[in-house]
């Protein structure tokens, strides 16, 4: 009988938790009754009961899905120029996080980055991202803001590099056609080489001139929210690539005014 009580007491000692009532002094005679009573008298954790005691509901917790839905609604209502549905507006970190979530872009990590597209004496922050865009694989997106003005107003997307004129000009012509379909005829067009060659230019000479920055191919498209400019650019070491530069009208004006104020 004593052994039975001892085993019961040991079990009771392991089970009893902080916040439970202490057994009565004569628990040796009524261990079964006190064991049941201790289980029914255990208090809830303090954090769970404070709100109930005050008669107040627990604070609502916003889920990631709710936060994303709210941000999507804010972007849809935004009137600034958009790139892949993301407005050219707000601070750099916000724009980058939206491009990663909504646009599917990732950090470029220096691979193939054209540094001159991020150069500028007055820049505060820059970012280079990589992803797919407009049916093209492995494009690089360049984003920068002005010193003292953490505001995204201009971005440039660079398409893959080519060392053949037919492929390079093909990208330019394809994008120009799609932009014309969406925005109408370009507001301005320049398509020429700054140098001539006896007997005309073949594709090899055209690529040489691209590398010498003597290829001036650009088309600008205007929209109520801003402008998009299509260009052929020289590569870092060889070849060339096409770029699209988006400039938001409202924030572009703010950035220009900020620059004027520095004069």
Which letter does DSSP use for residue 164 in this model? S
pTM of structure? 0.71
What does the pLDDT read at residue 177? 98
CA 119 to CA 116: how far, in whole Å?
A: 5
Give, for 224, the enclosing helix (H) or strand (E). none
What does the pLDDT read at residue 151? 87
Angle between helices 2-15 and 31-41 (to 10 degrees): 10
What does the pLDDT read at residue 230? 98
Residue entry with tokens 């001139």: 209
- CA 73 to chain centroid: 16
What does the pLDDT read at residue 166? 96
- Contact call for residues 193 and 206 (beta carbons, < 8 A): yes
What does the pLDDT read at residue 113? 64
What does the pLDDT read at residue 193? 94
What does the pLDDT read at residue 118? 62
What does the pLDDT read at residue 144? 79
List the chain residues with pLDDT less than 50.
Answer: 1-52, 120-122
Show me where the domains of the chain are located: 2-54, 88-262
What does the pLDDT read at residue 8? 45
Residue entry with tokens 């005309």: 200
What does the pLDDT read at residue 183? 95
CA 82 to CA 225: how far, in whole Å?
A: 8
Residues 6+ apart with CB under 8 A from 8: 31, 32, 35
């Amino acid at each position: 009988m004593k052994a039975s009580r001892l085993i019961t007491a040991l079990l009771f000692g392991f089970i009893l938790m902080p916040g439970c009532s202490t057994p009565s002094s004569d628990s040796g005679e009524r261990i079964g009754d006190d064991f049941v009573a201790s289980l029914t008298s255990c208090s809830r954790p303090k954090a769970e009961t404070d709100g109930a005691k005050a008669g107040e509901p627990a604070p609502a917790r916003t889920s990631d899905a709710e936060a994303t839905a709210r941000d999507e609604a804010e972007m849809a209502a935004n009137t600034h120029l958009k790139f892949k549905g993301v407005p050219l507006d707000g601070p750099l970190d916000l724009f980058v996080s939206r491009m990663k979530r909504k646009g599917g872009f990732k950090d470029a990590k220096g691979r193939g980055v054209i540094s001159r597209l991020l150069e500028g004496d007055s820049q505060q922050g820059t970012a280079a991202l990589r992803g797919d865009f407009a049916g093209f694989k492995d494009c690089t997106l360049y984003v920068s803001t002005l010193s003292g003005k953490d505001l995204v107003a201009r971005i440039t997307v660079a398409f893959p590099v080519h060392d053949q004129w037919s492929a390079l000009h093909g990208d330019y012509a394809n994008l120009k056609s799609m932009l014309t379909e969406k925005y109408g005829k370009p507001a301005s067009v320049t398509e020429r080489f700054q140098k001539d060659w006896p007997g005309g230019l073949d594709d090899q000479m055209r690529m040489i001139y691209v590398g010498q920055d003597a290829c001036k191919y650009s088309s600008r498209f205007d929209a109520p929210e801003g402008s998009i400019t299509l260009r052929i650019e020289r590569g870092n070491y060889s070849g060339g690539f096409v770029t699209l530069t988006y400039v938001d009208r409202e924030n572009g004006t703010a950035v220009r005014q900020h620059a004027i104020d520095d004069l």
